[in-house]
Amino acid sequence: MSYQRGTVKAIILACCISCFITPLLSTMMNLSLVNIGAEFNVGSHDLAYVNSAFLLASLIFMVPIAKIGDIIGKKKTFFIGLVVVMAGCILASVSPNFWFVIACRMIIGAGSAALAIEGVSLLVDVVPANRRGAILGIQAMCIYTGLSIGPAVGGLFNDLFGWRVLFITTVPLSLASMLFLHMFKDDIAPAKGSSFDTKSAVVYALAIGLSMLGVMNLPNVIALTSLIMGIILVAVFVKMQIGNRECLLEMKLFRNKVFSGSCVATFMSYAASFSVSFFLALYLQSIGQLTATEAGILMIVQPAIQAVGTPLCGKLCDRIERKYILPTAGMAIIAVGMATFIFYDMNTTLVIVVITMVLAGIGFSLFSAPNTTILMSSVPKEYTGEASGLLSFMRQTGMVVSMGIAMMFISLIMGSMDNLCPETYGQFLEVIRWSFIVCTAMCIIGMGASALRGNTSKDARPLHVYSK
């Protein structure tokens, strides 16, 4: 089905504004962790939950929300997500204690899951295939613009007004996205009239919750037990989906080599790189002796490059036949960027820090939009909701694993980040070194998955092709 030009523009604007909200808020919060900890008297280990709680809630809701959107309508689900995000931000701004902040971050995470899934899915549904890479590049540009200005705005607002104001900045953005969404009079519900498998949704939530809580708290024995239980429940969930006519997740999608390779590449890229902002914020404000505002301005470099480069690479992806070359090259450059962290020491100059961010920025510019285009173009149109959900799931899982790796090495080497001071800077550098040895290895694996997945045709093959 083709849509009028004005309708397509309205959806593009609604999706681009919404995808600006989450990265803006997340990067602003990174520069406020020290002040939040000081106000509520909590240490660095607990402060990691400010981001981890958001990611965990997003993961728990992603696959069920993708199915709900297919049943009740993607536009309606998108709108509900905006309302939930706005409510969570307003509540967070008046938090009476630290764990109320965490609860609000989980509410925001649940709403953001709907925005991430339905935003990409709606764009793929309404934008013609020959413009898909360019539009997905613009969408990614908005994400990286949020990441770019987030540290600077977060550092400045944090120093001038306090961290609570940061949550309120997202409210007008949510309202603007709602306005443009309202201009799209239709709705897209490919599974309208289908039933929702509540039992599978509960098993999925338990599986992801236990698995990710385990990952975030390794190497604790209880965390390891939680991880094992979660993995067992993941296997149970997968078994429940096979042959289930009302399944939450169509497992046949993974028989598509292009789709499965794209999922692996997505996971590895974010698992390798998400902890960069966490470590850089602490490194620059401790060993680097920068203020929150100064650190925020410096940390603009990587997302600013991505904001400029991603739409260009998305447009280039539309023009070349072997689309996998771009994301594969991107993963190789990201690997070099992550490897530079291994050599950080007490005397590392800001020039080296900038080079690290430049490499990561160029790598993600090449990787992001082309990889999304390949993944979303590899499935039939009626499965774009599920494909978008899996794309977001792989991205968010990678983020949680990235933070889990960071927290594991903090526990093993330092015991806690609560004692970060000049006497423990050497241990902190060891944490960074071992974390990014693992991250570099994951980049190399992701590069292999990207290269070996092959190419995708302009129109995805019917799903029954993969049924044997």
Please report the pLDDT score of residue 249 as a whole number: 83
Q: Are 121 and 208 in a shared domain?
A: no
Position 459 scores a pLDDT of 45
Per-residue confidence in pLDDT tens, the chain, 468 aa: 566 777 788 888 998 898 888 888 877 877 787 788 888 988 766 787 887 788 888 889 988 998 999 999 999 999 999 999 999 999 999 999 999 999 999 999 999 999 988 988 888 888 887 788 888 888 888 887 887 777 778 778 888 888 898 889 889 999 999 999 988 888 888 888 888 999 999 999 999 999 988 887 777 788 899 999 999 999 999 999 888 888 888 888 888 889 999 999 999 999 998 888 889 888 998 899 888 778 878 888 888 898 889 889 988 988 888 888 999 999 999 999 999 999 999 999 999 999 999 999 999 999 988 998 888 888 887 888 888 888 888 888 888 888 888 888 988 898 877 778 899 999 999 999 999 999 999 999 999 999 988 765 444 555 554 444
Residues 139, 262 within the same domain:
yes
**pLDDT for res 193:** 84
Domain ranges, residue 236: 197-245
Q: Is residue 190 part of a domain?
A: no
Q: Find tokens 């650190």 and name the residue.
A: 295
What is the pLDDT, as a whole number, of residue 78?
94
Q: Same structural domain for residues 401 and 448?
A: yes
Total tally of structural domains belonging to the chain: 2
How far apart, in whole angstroms, are the C-alpha atoms of residue 60 and residue 69?
15
Same domain, 71 and 201: no
Q: Are residues 72 and 178 in the same domain?
A: yes
- Report phi then psi at 146, rounded to 5: -60, -45
**Residue 466 pLDDT:** 47
The reply to whether 161 and 240 lie within a common domain is no
Residue 414 counted as domain residue? yes
Q: Are residues 271 and 238 in the same domain?
A: no
Structural domain contains residue 207: yes
Residue 35 one-letter amino acid? N
Q: Are residues 159 and 181 in the same domain?
A: yes
Write out pLDDT tens, residues 60-110: 998 899 899 999 999 999 999 999 999 999 999 999 999 999 999 999 999
The pLDDT, as a whole number, for residue 445 is: 95
Q: In terms of pTM, does the model score above 0.75? A: yes
pLDDT at residue number 45: 67
Residues 292 and 405 in one domain: yes
